[in-house]
């Protein structure tokens, strides 16, 4: 069913009794042209763009849990393309452009809200760094504005401008950035892929790969063997585990990142604000809760929950930035497992195993990349060559020295 104002009205008048499930619940078939392991945002987007852009519809997405149970439903919903380095900017900007047309494309209200992303600076050196980043963005055709303190004050007068340690000196604003309803992205892509013939198979966990003569023949799952011409991995924090089943060892560590929501309040923050002196980012959901987060906990973890010291650290960052939130109660807190690559940038590439493709290393910036990740991964799988904007996101860059290290701090699994 095509969603529209008319379909909404028709169903409203009939008591909402005739809505159909948004996607089928198919049994896995014995063989597909392409099997995508991982039914998160990236896996579903990949399946959708395989069908939409390349006409490959004999595709299954297998998901060990239910759609929306992983990181696509565990992030802080921020989208932006304010990167510095050539390997990253065109890729994330392509993602931003896809967000801008996403809802019409997949016929689903993903609540794309270009409310702006404002990065605050607290020192002269940081302002210089933001000026450089803003210039790099504009050279690549991305919007960026460097704001002074008074311009920031107009946007967010409630911030601690004269904090003794971290006075706010200005900020870098990307007006086209913003937030997107994360669950709706998963549901929208699942429905759009399903409508083009893709099988979205939930509660189906990959347990191994059948590989002969250096080529993958299919995936062993908890629901039996599924043969495949090609297999794409998009399993985020479980990448090392799943790739290990195929005998690969990767430049990735899994870490837990926590996110938080306060009780709902009246409209306060109409943009996304990041604290430049610590690590803290905050926006307000349409329900009124303040959605915020900070650093990863900092040790390897596959537990989808974090520990209290990081909760305290994140809240201290928030208090330094806007002391008024000290009056709020925290409503919910949760953790997701991040595939932290060693240079903070992702990998979309072939693997040494024929027919096996890898989409990983998203660190804690995977949500904003969802459309471009799916678009480029589908291109790679369909044509066996990288899409232009993802050509630098190679698996072998760590061996050849072509890292995309936004922070310039060398190999460590805590970048983004």
Q: Which residues bind another protein (CB under 8 A)?
A: 238, 240-241, 244, 249-254, 298-303, 307, 309, 342, 398-399, 411, 413
Nearer to another protein, 371 or 413 (CB): 413
List CB contacts of 415: < 8 A, sequence separation 6 or more: 340, 341, 343, 344, 363, 405, 406, 407, 409
Residue 188 and residue 186: Cα distance in Å, rounded?
Answer: 6
Nearer to another protein, 366 or 371 (CB): 366
Give Cβ neighbours of residue 89 (< 8 Å, ≥ 6 apart): 81, 83, 136, 137, 140, 142
- 208/222 Cα distance (integer angstroms): 10
CB 249 → another protein: shortest distance, Å?
A: 5
Q: Other C-beta atoms within 10 Å of 331: how many?
A: 12
Residue 123 beta carbon to another protein: minimum distance, rounded to whole angstroms: 26
What stretch of H or E contains 322?
Answer: none
Rounded Cα distance between 81 and 373, Å, is 13
CB of 310 to another protein, least distance (A): 10
Neighbours of 382 (CB within 10 A): 18
End-to-end, the C-alpha distance of the chain in Å comes to: 39
Q: How far is the CB of 41 from another protein (least distance, A)?
A: 22
Quote the longest CA-to-CA distance of the chain.
65
CB of 403 to another protein, least distance (A): 9
Considering the complex, state which of residue 298 and residue 354 has its C-beta at the smaller distance from another protein.
Answer: 298
**What's the closest the beta carbon of residue 355 comes to another protein, in angstroms?**
23
Nearer to another protein, 3 or 398 (CB): 398
Of 188 and 251, nearer to another protein (C-beta) is 251
Among residues 197 and 309, whose Cβ is nearest to another protein?
A: 309
> Smallest gap, in angstroms, from Cβ of residue 276 to another protein?
24
Output 251 or 293, the one with its CB closest to another protein. Answer: 251
What is the closest distance, in whole angstroms, from the C-beta atom of residue 345 to another protein in the complex? Answer: 13
Minimum distance from residue 242 beta carbon to another protein (Å)? 10
Beta bridge partners of 178: 79
Sign of CA dihedral 191, 197, 198, 203: positive
What's the residue count for the chain? 416
Query: By C-beta, is 93 or 253 nearer to another protein?
Result: 253
Q: For the CA atoms of 54, 55, 56, 59, what is the dihedral angle to 10 degrees? A: 110
Task: Tell me if residue 361 falls in helix, strand or coil.
Answer: coil
DSSP label of 268: -
Q: Judge contact between 125 and 75, C-beta under 8 A.
A: no
Gap between the Cα atoms of 367 and 376, Å rounded: 15
Residue with smaller CB distance to another protein, 240 or 370: 240
The answer to whether 252 and 342 are in contact (CB under 8 A) is yes
């Amino acid at each position: 069913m095509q969603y529209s104002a008319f379909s909404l009205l028709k169903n409203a008048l009939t008591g909402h009794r005739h809505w159909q499930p948004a996607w089928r619940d198919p049994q896995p078939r014995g063989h597909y042209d392409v099997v995508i392991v991982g039914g998160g945002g990236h896996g579903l987007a990949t399946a959708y763009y395989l069908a939409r852009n390349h006409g490959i519809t004999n595709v299954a997405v297998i998901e060990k849990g239910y759609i929306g149970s992983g990181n696509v439903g565990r992030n802080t919903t921020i989208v932006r393309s304010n990167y510095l380095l050539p390997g990253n900017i065109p890729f994330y900007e392509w993602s931003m452009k896809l967000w801008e047309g996403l809802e019409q494309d997949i016929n689903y209200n993903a609540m794309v809200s270009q409310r702006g992303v404002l990065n605050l600076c607290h020192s002269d050196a940081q302002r210089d760094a933001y000026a450089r980043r803003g210039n790099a963005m504009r050279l690549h055709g991305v919007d960026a504005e460097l704001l002074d303190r008074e311009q920031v004050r107009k946007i967010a007068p409630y911030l601690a401008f004269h904090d003794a340690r971290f006075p706010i000196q200005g900020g870098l604003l990307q007006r086209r950035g913003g937030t997107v309803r994360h669950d709706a992205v998963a549901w929208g892509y699942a429905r759009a892929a399903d409508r083009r013939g893709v099988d979205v198979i939930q509660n189906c966990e990959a347990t191994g790969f059948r590989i002969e003569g250096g080529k993958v023949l299919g995936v062993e799952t908890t629901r039996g063997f599924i043969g495949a011409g090609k297999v794409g991995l998009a399993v985020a924090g479980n990448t090392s585990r799943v790739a290990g089943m195929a005998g690969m060892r990767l430049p990735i560590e899994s870490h837990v990142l926590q996110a938080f929501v306060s009780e709902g309040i009246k409209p306060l923050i109409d943009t996304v604000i990041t604290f430049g002196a610590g690590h803290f980012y905050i926006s307000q959901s349409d329900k009124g809760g303040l959605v915020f987060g900070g650093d990863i906990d900092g040790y390897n973890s596959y537990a989808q929950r974090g520990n209290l010291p990081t909760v305290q650290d994140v809240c201290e960052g928030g208090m330094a930035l806007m002391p008024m939130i000290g009056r709020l109660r925290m409503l919910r807190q949760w953790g997701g497992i991040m595939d932290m690559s060693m240079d903070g940038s992702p990998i979309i590439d072939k693997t040494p195993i024929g027919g096996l493709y890898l989409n990983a290393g998203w660190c804690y910036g995977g949500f904003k990349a969802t459309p471009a990740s799916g678009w480029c991964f589908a291109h790679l799988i369909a044509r066996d060559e990288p899409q232009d904007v993802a050509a630098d996101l190679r698996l072998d860059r760590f061996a050849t020295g072509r890292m995309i290290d936004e922070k310039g701090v060398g190999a460590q699994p805590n970048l983004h």
